[in-house]
Amino acid sequence: NAGVTQTPKFRVLKTGQSMTLLCAQDMNHEYMYWYRQDPGMGLRLIHYSVGEGTTAKGEVPDGYNVSRLKKQNFLLGLESAAPSQTSVYFCASSSRDTQYFGPGTRLTVL
Amino acid sequence: DQQVKQNSPSLSVQEGRISILNCDYTNSMFDYFLWYKKYPAEGPTFLISISSIKDKNEDGRFTVFLNKSAKHLSLHIVPSQPGDSAVYFCAGTDSNYQLIWGAGTKLIIKP
């Protein structure tokens, strides 16, 4: 059981570039989440999904898009990266209240 | 509007003593609270939780207390060990499966 995995672990982008972060879970969880964590702040929810084919906006969705084509995968896309999107991104999944997290992706936008 | 507040950015405790981490919330609709632990360069890991219908939940060295009237919860770690050094987050949920997070408290256990 790998739990929740994220790829890539690190990435450096130039302003305006695009990229996709992949999250995969093998726990058959219905719910999946994307968060960002910035220094001195708690985790902030970007987007989430309550099931395959569904997505919803969280607290800070602007500049990001997501897709949940398969139950086990949740993709986070940045169409035109900005320096304000420099952050650590965490994916999580849950069946109820307890969320299980991936190891994170450290993204730097220059 | 911070619905979950952890007012102490850091806390230093001697090894073997009790660590008490505090969390305040404003949302009366929260019915479940969770504590997570996070090491550098890793994702948060679930530690312990408590339902709003309880006032205490215990798991080994970890105990969470909930005071609903004061909208306050605390995590007690007894005895504190070096491996407990980490950032601790509290979070609340109103059963829509979204967690609202505090900013975290960095716990440092001194030898």
Our CA-based measurement puts residue A88 at a distance from the nearest CA of chain B, in whole angstroms, of 9
Nearest to B103 by CA among B44, B61, B20, B17: B44
Q: Which residue has the tokens 């936008």?
A: A109
**pLDDT at residue number A77:** 97
Is B51 in a helix, a strand, or coil?
strand
**pLDDT at residue number B1:** 67
pLDDT top residue among A39 and A101 = A101
**pLDDT at residue number B101:** 92
The confidence band for A104, taking pLDDT boundaries of 50, 70 and 90, is very high
**pLDDT at residue number B65:** 98
Structure confidence by residue, pLDDT tens digits, B61-98: 999 999 999 999 999 999 999 999 999 999 998 767 78
Share of chain A above pLDDT 70, in %: 99
Q: Write down the mean pLDDT value for chain A.
A: 94
Our CA-based measurement puts residue B38 at a distance from the nearest CA of chain A, in whole angstroms, of 10
Q: Of A44, A92, A103, which has the smallest distance from its Cβ to B42's Cβ?
A: A103
Buried b (16+ CB within 10 A) or exposed e, B46-59: bbbbbebeeeebee
